[in-house]
Amino acid sequence: MRFPPARLICSRLICALLMLIAGCANPSPETLKSLTVTATPANIDVGGAAVLKAVAQLSDGTTQDVTSGTQWTLSNGSLAKIGSGILTGNSPGTVTVQASYSVSPEGQSSSAWSSSPQTLNSSAQVTIGAAPTVAGTIAPSIITWNPPGAIQYGTALSGVQLDATANVPGAFSYTAAAGTILKAGEQTLSAVFTPADTKSYATATASVNLTVTKASPIIAWPPLAPVTQGAALSSAQLNAVANVPGTLVYTPAAGTVLPLGIRPLTATFSPADPSDYTSATANNSLTVQAAPTPTAAIAPVITWKTLVAIQYGTTLSGVQLNATADAP
């Protein structure tokens, strides 16, 4: 049996993996201009691997990696196979890697498109050469990687999930890398193992599935001060705040005049990103008090002594204008 030289395959794998970057979020269709696809390296041997990458060019001159959202197909499935963004050569020949990337109209999720999505296509070629022969036999590396437990959206990948082991010394390279925050849903993690002794052992790959659950928003709604009967609900009472963008709907709504007593209020939160966050509700209560009874007014008592007669031509003064009251 003939085997490819481990040193050549490993060298190409390492170079290729350095080019692999996890895909980012979809760019806005208004700024999306074109799609560029690369396969690194473009020339491999049977059993070798090339890393696929898709980059969107934006109208403002910047670029964005959209590899994770790109659909890949091959012109000839007998020459190679694709898994987790890595093309592996099966037979000698030249294969065209076709990429299709779609984005929804701005502001709509893929499940709610009201118009046709924008789709860009591009391609790259990979030439697969025959595996060279070497003297001796290279033993396989065996990877053990148990599927990790589910995590909540917002949790960064760490050694808890990226914990594959091998039967011989070497190094692992993971896709997605440690520190990555994955979207909610079923995600695939892949690992490439490079043995320390590449003369005796071959590289190996493995993948596992990871469930990322939606995160629950946190709603803050402090206790409310009592209001007087007849006061309409306003932002003074309907002032709940969520820790993520979204919309709050209150029951009863603003402008409602509540009757006397302790009245329940409810806030329902709809996240702006429903693919990664769940909806949530919060409850509060408001005390409606009776208006205070007005106090009856007390008339002041005026004292004004009988005046002594004056002669015509005498000017009035404090002698005559000397009335007093029992209130200020």
**158 and 273 belong to one structural domain:** no
Distance between CA atoms of residues 178 and 133, nearest Å: 37
pLDDT for the residue numbered 73: 94
Structure tokens at 55: 């980059």
pLDDT reported for residue 32: 72
Q: Are 99 and 71 in contact (CB under 8 A)?
A: yes
- Residue 12: its pLDDT value, please? 45
Rounded Cα distance, 10 and 243, in Å: 46
User: For 202-228, what is each residue's pLDDT tens digit?
Assistant: 999 999 999 999 999 999 999 999 999
Nearest to 50 by CA among 94, 22, 12, 24: 12
pLDDT value of position 38: 93
So what's the pLDDT on residue 136? 53
**pLDDT of 102:** 82
pLDDT of residue 133: 52
Count: domains in the chain: 3
CA distance 279 to 214: 10
Low-confidence ranges of the chain (pLDDT < 50): 1-25, 29, 107-114, 135
Q: Are residues 103 and 192 in the same domain?
A: no
CB neighbour class for 65 (10 Å; exposed up to 12, middle 13-18, buried from 19):
middle
Q: What number of other Cβ atoms are within 10 A of residue 225's Cβ?
A: 9
Burial of 252 per CB tally in 10 Å (0-12, 13-18, 19+): middle
Q: Are residues 3 and 95 in the same domain?
A: yes
What is the rounded CA–CA span in Å between residue 9 and residue 182?
30
Q: Residue 129 gets which letter from DSSP?
A: E
Task: Judge if 11 and 91 occupy the same domain.
Answer: yes
Contacts of residue 184, Cβ cutoff 8 Å, sequence gap at least 6 = 153, 212, 213, 214, 215, 275, 276
Residues 5 and 126 in one domain: yes
Do 48 and 154 lie in one domain? The reply is: no
- On whether both 183 and 95 belong to a single domain, the answer is no
pLDDT confidence of residue 114: 45
Strand, coil or helix: what is 4?
Answer: coil
Q: Is residue 299 part of a domain?
A: no
Question: Same structural domain for residues 238 and 254?
Answer: yes
Q: How far apart are CA 259 and CA 228, in angstroms?
A: 10
> Domain for residue 93, yes or no?
yes
Parent domain of 176: 138-213
* pLDDT for the residue 27: 58
CATH number at 156 reads 2.60.40
